[in-house]
Structure 1
Amino acid sequence: MKKYWFFVIAVGFTSCLEKYDFNVLNLNEGLVVEGSISNVSFNESQGFPSVGRYFQVELSKTSDVDNQRDEKVNGATVKIKTSEGQEFLYTESGLDDGIYLLKDDLFHANGTAEYQLQIILEDGQLIESDWEALPAVENTLGSLEYIEDSREQYVFEAGEKVIGVGKGIKLELKVPEGDFEENQLVKWTFDPFWTYSAALLDSDSPIKKCWVSSNLYLKNVVLGKYKKGGFGQELFFIETKGNWRLYDYFSVLIHQEKLSPGYYQFWKDLEAQGDKGGLFDQPPFGLSTNFTNTNGNWTVNGYFGVVNESTVRWTFDPENLSYIIEDDLYDFCLANARFDPRLPADQCYDCRSHTLGTAVNTPPFWWEE
C-alpha cells in the first residue's frame, strides 16, 4: 500500500498550531484544493486599509514520496459559477506555484446567489464543489484590547535558543453583546505588517527603512462557536522583549469570518486531528470535503467556502505598556550580527535583507506617517 501526503493547516482557539506535511494512507492520486470567497471585493479590501487581495485557489497533488512538499498543480482551468448564470475565470499567478487568482476588482459573494468552484485539470478531470451560499448573519467586529502577559517560549540567551519565560501581550477581542437563535460559527486569521530599519545606515539612505509583510508570523487560526456574546476572545500572543517587529511600527489585519456549518466542521476536523498529538502520531485523514471528481479517479481533499468577512487593522501602541521596549538593534548589530542567528549581518546594512518577512523599501499606497 502506498503512502500519500497532503498539506494541512492545524488550528486552535488560542494557540499557534504549526503547518505540517503529513503522510496519509491513500490508494489513489489526489488533489488538494485550498480556496474561498467572501462578501468583500478586491476594491473593498483596499479600504481595510491594505494593498488589497484577490480571491485565490491553490492546487497541489498528493505524493507518494515521504518528507517532500506537494507537487503544485499548474495548467488547470479554474472558475466560479453562480446560480445566476455568471462565470468568473481565475488566472494562474505565472510562478508555477499552483496559485490561481480571480483578478476581478469588483467580484464578491452576495446573498442572492449560490456559488460553485469548478476545476478542470490538464488531463480533463472535472472537479466540482457543492453549491455554497453566503452565510446570512450579522458580522460585527468588537473592540480590541491588548493585555500584558508572559508565556513559556523559546528565548535567546548568549546566542543560544532555550526555553524561558517571555514578556509579551495578548490581544483580546470583546465579542459584542447579543443572544443568537443559531450558533455563530467564526474563524479569525491574521496578516501582520511592520517597518524595519537597518541599524548601521544613515537615516537618509534609500535602503534604511523597509515595509514588511509575512505569511509565517501569526499564522495561527482561531475558531469560535457561540450563541451568546459579551465575552473576551484571545486572538494571539506576541512577545515584546527582543521582538524587532515592534520597534517602529507594527499592525495586524484581523479577519473575522462567519462560516457555514459545513465549512466550520471542516476546520474543526483539522483542529481535532491536530490535537491528537505530535508529528509522529496517527496523521490526519478522512476530512470532510464538498468536492466531487465527476469523471476521474483522483481523490479530492479540501473545502470550498463562501464566508461573511469583516476585517480591521489593529495597530500596536507601545505607550500603553507599563514598561519600555528597548530598541537594541544598533548595539546588537555592532556586537553580535555576525554570530547571532536571529539577525544575519546583511540586515544591519540593507533593510531589504530582512529575513523575517517580505521587505520592500517603498511604502504601500495606504501608508501615512
Structure 2
Amino acid sequence: MRNISAIVLLLAFTGCVEPYDFQVTETVEVLVVDAQLTNEQKAHRVELSLSRAIDSDTSTKVTGADVRIVEDGSLEISFNESNPGVYETHPSVMGKTGSSYVIHIKLSNGNTYQSTPQVLSPSVPIDSVYGHYIEIPSDQNAEIKKGIQFFVDTHDESNDVSFIRYEYKEDFEIKVPYPSGYEWDSNTQTFGPRSEDIGTCYGDGQNRNLIIASTSGLSENRLNAFPIQMVGVDDPQLEHRYALTVVQYMLNPSAYQYYKNLQENNVSSGSFFDKQKGTIAGNIFNENNSSEPILGFFEVAGVSMITKFFNSSDFRDQGFIPNYDFQKCNPQTALDTVQINDLNTELLSSYNIVEFPVTVPNGAIIATVPCSDCRVYADNVKPDYWD
C-alpha cells in the first residue's frame, strides 16, 4: 500500500550573512488520504492520518471516520475500520473497467470530503521482465556500480498513450556457507539432528521509490527496457535465486500528473516515504471549504502483475560475479574441530554443530553461528509461490 506523509504550510527563511538556528514553532495539521481502488478482487484499503511535523517521525491516525466509494453515481462500496486509521472493504470488492468512482469521507468532527470522479483504466499485461549486467558511474562517489539492472517491457494497442505507475517486490534465497545439521539441547546436554533447515532462508523487500512512466511523445504506445530495479554485486538478492514481482498500475492522466509533481517535489529520491517539502494538490477536497489543503490522492487503476525467477548463474556469462559479504562470517576461519566430549552450552551459544566427520573419531565440526544459521539474516520459511 502506498504511504504518503507530508509537512505543510511551513515557511523557512534563510540568510547569507549569518547562520540562523531555525526551529519549528508551529505547524498546521491537515488531513492525509491514502486511497486506492483497482480491478483486483480483494479488500481495498483507505488510510487516514494527519500530516506530521518536520521534526517528527510519527503521524496521528484518523479514527472513527465514515468512508465509502460511490460507483457510477449510485452503487455504494462501504468500508469498515480494521485498525486505527485503516479502513477496508469486503474482500469480494473489485473495481470495474470504465466505471467512475468518487470517494466520500466524513470525519468524527463532522467535516466531509470527497474526490473528483476517477475512471478506472483497463489493465494491460506486462510483456516481459528481464535483467542485464551493467557497470555505471555511482551518483554518490567516484566508484563504478556493478550489478544486474532489471527492466520491464509493455505495450497497449488499444490506446494512444499510457500513464503507468510501477511497484515491485523481491524474494530471494540466502544460503550460509556451512549449514548446521545438528542442534544442541541445553537441558539434556545432548545433540541430535535438526528438525528444520537453517541452511537456506528467504529475504524480501519492496520498492520505496515512486516509479512512474508515460508513453506520451513516443512513436507508439510502448515501453521498452524501462528500468525497475538494480541489484548490485554486493547485495544479497542475487547470491543464489531471486524472484521479482512487478506490479503495473494503469493511471488516468490526472493521477500521473499528481505523481509527477510529487516526484519532482522530492528531487532527492522521489520516494513515497519522504517528508514532503510543500503541498501537492491532489483530487480530494473539503465539501464545505475548498481552500482547506488536503494531502494525498484517490487512485483508481487497472492492475496487472508478473513474477519472474532468476538464478545468479543466468548472468555469469555477462560478467556478473556476486560478492555478498555475510555479516561477521569469515569462511576462512569459521570452521573448527572439537571433541564431542568438549561440546557444551557455552561453546554452542556462539557455534553450531555442522557435522561429525568419519575421518576424526569422536570429533565434531563446528562453525560460528553467522556462518551456519541463515536465520541470522532472514526467515527460513519459504514463500508459498517459491518453486
Shift of the 231–34 alpha-carbon distance from structure 1 to 2, 3 Å rule, reads closer
User: Identity rate of aligned residues, in percent?
Assistant: 19
| Aligned partner of residue 265 in structure 2, secondary structure | helix
* CA apart distance, 1:38: 1.1
Query: What does residue range 315-354 of structure 1 map to in structure 2 within 5 Å?
Result: 315-321=309-315, 322=317, 323=319, 325-326=321-322, 333-334=329-330, 351-354=374-377
> Which structure 1 residue ranges, 4+ long, deviate > 6 Å from structure 2?
276-279
Given candidates 116, 119, 131, the residue that maps to 1:146 is 131
Q: Cα deviation per residue 1:90-134 (whole Å; 9 max; x = unaligned)?
A: 34443x4x3333341x32111363222222223232222222221
1:69 aligns with 2:58: yes
Given candidates 211, 222, 230, the residue that maps to 1:238 is 230
- 1:364 aligned partner: 383
Shift of the 134–200 alpha-carbon distance from structure 1 to 2, 3 Å rule, reads same
* CA apart distance, 1:329: 5.4
In the alignment of these two chains, the number of paired residues is 316
- 1:213 aligned partner: 204
* CA apart distance, 1:327: 6.4
Given candidates 76, 80, 86, the residue that maps to 1:99 is 86
- 2:151 aligned partner: 172
* CA apart distance, 1:180: 4.4
| Aligned partner of residue 240 in structure 2, secondary structure | coil
Report if aligned partners of 2:34, 2:47 keep a CA contact under 8 Å in 1.
yes
> Looking at CA atoms only, which structure, 1 or 2, has the larger radius of gyration?
2
Q: Tell me which amino acid in the other structure corresponds to 2:69.
A: I
Query: What does residue range 242-253 of structure 1 map to in structure 2 within 5 Å?
Result: 242-253=234-245
- 1:225 aligned partner: 215
Report if aligned partners of 2:32, 2:294 keep a CA contact under 8 Å in 1.
yes
CA distance in 2, matches of 1:164, 1:195: 27
TM-score of the superposition, structure 2-length normalised? 0.68
| Aligned partner of residue 124 in structure 2, secondary structure | coil
Report if aligned partners of 2:44, 2:89 keep a CA contact under 8 Å in 1.
yes
CA distance in 1, matches of 2:53, 2:384: 45
Query: What does residue range 179-190 of structure 1 map to in structure 2 within 5 Å?
Result: 180-181=159-160, 183-190=161-168
| Aligned partner of residue 94 in structure 2, secondary structure | coil
Query: What does residue range 1-369 of structure 1 map to in structure 2 within 5 Å?
Result: 8=4, 22=7, 24-25=9-10, 28-42=28-42, 54-64=43-53, 66-83=55-72, 85-94=74-83, 96=84, 98-104=85-91, 106-111=92-97, 113-135=99-121, 137=122, 139-153=124-138, 164-176=143-155, 178=157, 180-181=159-160, 183-199=161-177, 201-202=179-180, 205-215=196-206, 217=207, 219-226=209-216, 228-230=220-222, 232-275=224-267, 284-295=277-288, 299-321=293-315, 322=317, 323=319, 325-326=321-322, 333-334=329-330, 351-354=374-377, 359-368=378-387
Q: Tell me which amino acid in the other structure corresponds to 1:314.
A: K
Q: Which moves more between the two structures, 267-276 or 241-250?
A: 267-276
* CA apart distance, 1:241: 1.6
Q: Cα deviation per residue 1:118-171 (whole Å; 9 max; x = unaligned)?
A: 222232322222222212x5623222331211233499xxxxxx7621211212
| Aligned partner of residue 264 in structure 1, secondary structure | helix
Report if aligned partners of 2:4, 2:34 keep a CA contact under 8 Å in 1.
no
| Aligned partner of residue 261 in structure 2, secondary structure | helix
* CA apart distance, 1:208: 4.2
Q: Tell me which amino acid in the other structure corresponds to 1:172.
A: F
CA distance in 1, matches of 2:303, 2:270: 32
Q: Which moves more between the two structures, 304-313 or 288-297?
A: 288-297
